[in-house]
């Protein structure tokens, strides 16, 4: 599912919008929240391999592909970890407090970390100041 989503994101948005809106991250977060932590390394490995392959296929440099793979694997890892910690397990999204915690973790905190990594990667790749990237 992640691979198909990554390909569709490249085809639909290109490289410019993809970092701001990346639906496969939601698929990854759901896979992590709904699986035991012992399976997370396999999920992360699948993300990294799929992301790296898709980015190379669409013309990204190996360095850029590695940075995107890092950002797009850390983002759901942070989000899922915070969701499970703040909701004390799998959230019940019918409960407003669980829903608020889920949104804060999965839609704000995780993407913020992923965006910071992506911004730092872009700044390093283009040799620009981080806030400008």
Tokens of 110: 């995780």
Check: CB of residue 93 under 8 Å from CB of residue 107. no
Q: State percent of the chain over pLDDT 70.
A: 80
Mean pLDDT of 36-63: 93
Please give the residue that has the higher pLDDT: either 123 or 22.
Answer: 123
Q: Is the pTM of this model over 0.85?
A: no
Give the model's pLDDT for residue 78: 97
Domain that holds residue 123: 2-132
Give the model's pLDDT for residue 23: 76
How sure is the predictor about 128, in pLDDT bands with cuts at 50, 70 and 90? confident
pLDDT higher than 50, residue 13: yes
Give the chain's count of helices (H) and strands (E): 6, 0
Long-range contacts of 16-22 (CB under 8 A, 24+ apart): 19/68, 19/71, 19/114, 19/115, 19/118, 20/115, 22/72
Mean pLDDT of the chain: 86
Give the model's pLDDT for residue 59: 87
User: How far apart (Å, rounded) are the C-alpha atoms in residues 27 and 92?
Assistant: 17
pLDDT higher than 50, residue 18: no
The total number of structural domains in the chain stands at 1
Mean pLDDT of 24-45: 94
| pLDDT 10s digits, 55-95 | 899 888 999 899 989 998 999 999 999 999 999 999 999 99
């Amino acid at each position: 599912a992640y691979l198909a989503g990554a390909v569709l994101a490249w085809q639909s948005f290109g490289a410019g919008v993809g970092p701001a809106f990346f639906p496969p991250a939601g698929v990854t977060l759901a896979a992590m929240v709904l699986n035991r932590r012992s399976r997370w390394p396999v999920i992360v490995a699948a993300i990294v391999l799929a992301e790296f392959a898709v980015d190379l296929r669409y013309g990204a440099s190996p360095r850029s592909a590695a940075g995107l793979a890092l950002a797009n694997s850390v983002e759901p890892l942070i989000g899922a970890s915070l969701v499970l910690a703040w909701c004390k397990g799998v959230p019940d999204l019918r409960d407003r407090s669980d829903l608020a915690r889920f949104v804060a973790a999965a839609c704000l905190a995780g993407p913020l970390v992923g965006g910071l990594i992506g911004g730092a990667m872009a700044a390093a790749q283009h040799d620009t100041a981080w806030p400008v990237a």
